[in-house]
């Protein structure tokens, strides 16, 4: 129970702080891109075709694809929120193990692939190019402290957006089931109410957030213990 309370407080505080960071709205599109790319990748894995992805300045996005009707559409609709939540968890996992550079390179690679293969509206293409260039410059041409800060910013924003977006879909599924995006699509494909799928998305996001924050607090604790051990002296 205590870990869930810590997670909730952490997400709340981070949501407030990240919105105070200049240009944080620009970086919130990382979550949107990963969400849409998860739809696209699942479509390709299931032998469908991706027509295009559009990203917008209000952090919304859409993936248009073609695939045979049936069970495949269920997996594609599940992939967006689930994939984006797992990506946020992965960034924290890499950050906690001191491999934040790998996380940034992965994010830059996703933006580059999106630009080359799928994203076709003007804003989306400019955003992918800008984010990929900025991220690569930070990876290779900035001091270590700035790279860690940048990686933390991207990870925190992805985590917060995964929770906020999933909880928002749950609320919409309760108040307006037909307009609940992926949850509504899943409801039409399975006859399971949209609110059930909204609960699933929220559960995945909160589970990933709980584990991500646990990794963060554990890495901070281990670092402090290591610093204390290194500073102790035992005279002969």
Residue pLDDT, tens place only, 137-173: 999 999 999 999 899 889 988 998 999 999 999 999 9
Task: Answer yes or no: is pLDDT of 220 > 70.
Answer: no
- Give per-residue pLDDT as tens, 94-141: 988 889 999 999 999 999 999 999 999 999 999 999 999 999 999 999
Q: Is residue 6 part of a domain?
A: no
Task: Answer yes or no: is pLDDT of 72 > 70.
Answer: yes
Q: Round the average pLDDT of the chain to a whole number and report it.
A: 87
Task: Answer yes or no: is pLDDT of 42 > 50.
Answer: yes
Q: Is residue 13 part of a domain?
A: no
Q: Is residue 16 part of a domain?
A: no
Alpha helices (runs of H) in the chain, residue ranges in sequence order: 2-18, 24-45, 71-96, 100-113, 122-141, 144-175, 181-190, 194-231
How many folded domains does the chain comprise? Answer: 1
What was the pLDDT predicted at 195?
95
Cα(159)–Cα(88) distance, rounded to whole angstroms? 5
Q: Is residue 205 part of a domain?
A: yes
**Domain of 159?**
26-220
Q: Is residue 208 part of a domain?
A: yes
Task: Answer yes or no: is pLDDT of 70 > 90.
Answer: no
Q: Is residue 150 part of a domain?
A: yes
Q: Is residue 198 part of a domain?
A: yes
What was the pLDDT predicted at 216?
73
Q: Is residue 19 part of a domain?
A: no
Contacts of 1 (CB under 8 A, 6+ apart): none
Name the residue among 101, 80, 48 with its Cα closest to residue 204: 80
Name the residue among 216, 189, 10, 188 with its Cα closest to residue 96: 216
Phi-psi region at 23: left, alpha or beta (left = phi > 0; alpha = psi -120 to 50): left
């Amino acid at each position: 129970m205590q870990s869930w309370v810590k997670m909730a407080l952490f997400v709340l505080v981070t949501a407030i702080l990240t919105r105070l960071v200049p240009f944080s709205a620009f970086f919130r599109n990382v979550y949107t891109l990963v969400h849409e790319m998860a739809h696209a990748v699942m479509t390709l894995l299931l032998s469908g075709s991706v027509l295009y992805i559009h990203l917008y300045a209000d952090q919304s996005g859409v993936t248009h694809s073609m695939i045979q009707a049936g069970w495949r559409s269920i997996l594609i609709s599940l992939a967006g929120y689930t994939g984006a939540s797992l990506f946020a968890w992965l960034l924290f996992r890499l950050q906690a193990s001191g491999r934040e550079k790998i996380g940034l390179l992965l994010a830059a690679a996703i933006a580059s692939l999106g630009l080359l293969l799928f994203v076709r509206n003007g804003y989306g293409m400019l955003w992918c190019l800008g984010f990929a260039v900025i991220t690569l410059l930070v990876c290779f041409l900035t001091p270590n402290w700035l790279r860690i800060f940048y990686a933390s910013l991207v990870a925190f924003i992805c985590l917060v957006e995964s929770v906020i977006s999933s909880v928002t879909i749950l609320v919409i599924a309760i108040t307006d089931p037909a307009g609940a995006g992926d949850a509504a699509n899943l409801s039409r494909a399975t006859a399971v109410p949209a609110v059930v799928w909204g609960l699933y998305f929220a559960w995945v996001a909160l589970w990933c957030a709980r584990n991500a924050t646990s990794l963060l607090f554990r890495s901070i604790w281990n670092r402090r213990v290591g610093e204390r051990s290194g500073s102790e002296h035992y005279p002969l």
